[in-house]
Amino acid sequence: MLVVGVAIIDQGRLLATRRVLPAELAGGWEFPGGKVDPGETSEQSGVREVAEELGCAVQVTGRLGGEQQLRAGFVLHVYAARLVGGEPTPRVHDALRWLGPEELDEVAWLSADRPFLGELEQLLLDGQSLPGGNVGGAVRIGATARRPTGPWTPAVHALLDHLATAGLDGVPRVLGIDARGREVLTYLPGRTCPDGEAPDHVIVEAMHWLRRYHAAVRDFRPTGSVRWRFSDRSMDRDEIICHHDVAPYNVVVDESERLVGVIDWDVAGPGHPLDDLAFSAWNFVPLWRDVGVRESARRLRLLCASYGAIRPSDVLAGVVPRISGAVANITAGQAAGDSGMANLAAVGEPGRTRVALDHLIAVLPGIEQELGRGTP
């Protein structure tokens, strides 16, 4: 007789359930499931058993390799499934645990279920793709985010460790490197803002955060030449380490659209505070899209007032050189085989930025004139 086990995977975690009966299996951890009834497919049986045992809904995504002999006449097949409705609640078990790929050995699995863990570990490491950012490759696994690494990763991790020590809010913490060579960071819960559609209060909070970041990073001064994503050099005396990518797609907000934090630190490197502000203006106003000279000037004033001690006219003057530099970095990265920069090519970069920059240059006198009518 066929017995089906269901390996429920959600956000890169596997659900383990602890048995109560029979006595000889009590305390052992297993996949939920049970016998296939007459007229059922294996997949239908798995969905039914999960609903009965845990009160939640799953969708079967495929069968795992191999099978295990149970008692005489019974054989176990295991199917992977994703959670699609409800929260699992133990009804016939006395406990459940969500386990990440590094935690699978933390429970005492029943001997019949253990052989499937190797394949499941790889499925868990696939994680859940994360939105936000532009270069791609980030996934969520439980309370962690995993991202591809590069020669710049040690410098970025040193930066993040410094910010953690400084107590700066809204910054992911470094947890290590996983089995696939990806960096492991704390996951910042929430969502990113639609590109170019950040409301005023998000601009205010993002610029308050950016001011705090610039203050926290001023005493982070690596000695000698350091490899960053777009440069390999030492810092000039008047430079700080900029984030270089503070934009709506990297700003995480909660359900009330309040700032949670800022992600995607892989392009951090030496620069001046104006570089971060100019890039933020390009993306938050946004200056890459024609929103009209009055609205551009209004949101630029808001951005600068929220950061403090910076003239909107100075930030506006820095946008063209800053975005021209970004185009050059993307082009060079693509030529050098940087996979993240190659992902940008798939969405038309840097070509679409060149077009947007040409349009900004054409309307720049109008925005400058509008700024001149108010407080500079």
pLDDT tens across 261-318, in order?
999 999 999 999 999 999 999 999 999 999 999 999 999 999 999 999 999 999 999 9
Percent of the chain with pLDDT over 70: 98
Architecture of domain 190-372: Orthogonal Bundle (1.10)
pLDDT tens across 6-57, in order?
999 999 999 999 999 999 999 999 999 999 999 999 999 999 999 999 999 9
Q: What is the per-residue pLDDT for 376?
A: 44
CATH code of 2-126, in short, is: 3.90.79.10
Q: Answer whether 2-126 and 190-372 agree in fold.
A: no
Domain ranges of the chain: 2-126, 190-372
Q: What secondary structure, in 3-state letters, does 59-103 show?
A: EEEEECCCCEECCCCCEEEEEEEEEEECCCCCCCCCEEEEECCCC
On the 0-12 / 13-18 / 19+ scale of CB atoms within 10 A, 208 is middle
pTM: 0.93
55's CB contacts (< 8 A; 6+ apart) are 86, 88, 89, 91
Q: What is the per-residue pLDDT for 196?
A: 76
